Each structure stands twice: as C-alpha cells, then as structure tokens.
Copies of this chain bind each other. A is one copy, B any other.
Amino acid sequence: MQEQAIAWRHAGDDIGVVPTMGALHAGHDSLVARARRENRRVIVSIFVNPAQFGPNEDFDKYPRPFDQDRNRLDALGVDAIFHPSVDQIYPPAFKTRLDPGPLGDVLEGRSRPGHFAGVLTVVLKLFSLTQPKRAYFGQKDFQQVVLVRQMVRDFALPVRIVAVPTVREADGLAISSRNVYLNPTQRQTAPVIHQALTQVAGAFTAGETEPARLEGLARERLAAAHGLTLDYVSVVDETTLRRPERAIPGSVLVVAVKLGSIRLIDNVVLGAERP
C-alpha cells in the first residue's frame, strides 16, 4: 500500500484516508463521500485494531463482514481498500507505542485504559502506510478526534484531520457498528441519548451556560430511561477536554451510557447549527 500511496503523492495526487474497523454503515459512507469530494485518491483502511480493545472487550466478536464491506466500498467508488492482517501491522517484534498523555485517561479513557494509546499507535502507522493529505473521522468518537488532532499537532504531521458530523437513524440514535448488539428493548430505549443531547443543546441556545446545569438536564433525562446506566456526562472544551467555567459555542457535551453490557457514546457541539 505504501509504495502505491507514495507514488500517488509524487504524482501530485492528494490522498484522503478513511480509517475504519469495517462493519461499514451509513456513518462510514458519509466519511467516504466527504473524502471523495475533497481528494483525487481515496483509501479506506479496514483493520480491527487489537491494541485499542481492552482484555474484557469485544475484539474477538467484533463483526468482520469483509465481503459486504468491499461491495459497499466498490459501490461508493474508492481507489484502494487497505485491509492488512494483524501481523502486518503488529509483527512479533513490534515494540514502540504512542502515549496520548493525560487526555487519554479521562472520559472514555477512564473506562478503557490503554484504548487511546492503541488508537494513536495504529493511526500513526496507517498514516505512514497511506500518506494522507486529509484523514476522515466520525464526530461520534469525539475524544478520538481530539487525541488524533493532538498527535498531529504535537508531531507536526502533514495531514489535516477532518471530523465528519455523526449520521443518525431516523429516531436519532447515532449509527454505530455496535448497535447490532442491542436487543429490541434496548434498541427502543437508545434514542433517549440523542433526545437528552438535543434538549441540552436547546437549553444552551436558550441561554443556559452553567456546565453543571447542562449536565444535570442530560442526567435527569437519561435517569428516566429504563435499563440504562449512565457512565459519564460532561461539558468539555473541544481542544483541551477540560470542563469550562461556562459553556461557549463549540463546547461539547459528551455522554457515555450502558444498555445491558452494550456501551454507547454520543455527543453534541453546543451552539452548532446541526446538533
């Protein structure tokens, strides 16, 4: 892949890369479509990255419908699918790791120790192998976007990180490969997450800027949902992930819940046109 990518760059072709773990859905379609519009070449990587799964997480049972994914990408029109083996990315002698620093230990990182170190490690290697001018990530995984951007800034990597708005089901549930794990009852409950986010965004637009109050609104709404456990809800700065004194346009309300054993995350940018 690297040789081809370098040849494209040398020929003057911009490369847009969409890193995925496969099990592609409408959210990925949107990333690919955006990449397609902005770059001469589009590479989609499909790699279920063991380094970002905890020991008790779903690495083994994570869906891997490769033939289906390939057909989907063929229909969208991409220049290359990069589908490496685990050994190709992590040969036995692989040793160097990336450490995201303190922002890797909060929010998702608190529930998933080592997760973001694993994400950054694979993203840096994918960037090296695919030579993107632009790389596309879903806004749903907001903390991932923040930490990838931090790495890019810290190391002055010559790539632009594009965060693409979350694609939702008709009832507002953020589309995720893990939604297939939800049973019918859980699936019926899940849209409350987006409802809570929308309510908070509305309150912000109506003038509420106190983080504790905004979080309280979401907490209250989610507490009313049956069988849902709140992990965290927090107003954070879009770059530092710090909780601001006052929410401002661009502040992000992030939320993580569990429905049974299924963990779902979502977020809303306050003051944005499209919540």
Contacts and interface: CB of A to CB of B under 8 A. Distances in A.
Nearest to A89: B156
A124 B125 CA distance: 12
Contacts of A98: 96-99
A73 to B, nearest CB: 23
Looking at A97, A124, A154, the one whose CB has the most chain B CB atoms below 10 A away is A154
Interface string A72-112: 00000000000000000000011111111111000000000
B94 A125 contact: no
Given A10-B12, A12-B10, A95 B129 contact: no
Given A95-B101, A99-B99, A151-B96, A158 B6 contact: yes
Interface of A: 2, 6, 10, 12, 93-103, 120, 124-125, 128-129, 131, 150-151, 153-158, 240
22 contacts: A2-B156, A2-B158, A6-B158, A10-B10, A93-B150, A93-B153, A93-B240, A94-B154, A95-B100, A95-B102, A96-B101, A96-B151, A97-B98, A97-B99, A97-B101, A98-B98, A98-B99, A124-B155, A125-B154, A125-B155, A128-B156, A129-B156
Contact of A96 (B96, B99, B240): B99
A117 B102 CA distance: 16
Contacts of A93: 150, 153, 240
Contacts of A94: 154
B150 A96 contact: yes
Contacts of A6: 158
Given A96-B151, A97-B98, A125-B154, 15 more contacts: A2-B158, A6-B158, A10-B10, A10-B12, A93-B150, A93-B240, A94-B154, A95-B100, A96-B99, A96-B120, A97-B99, A128-B157, A128-B158, A129-B156, A131-B158
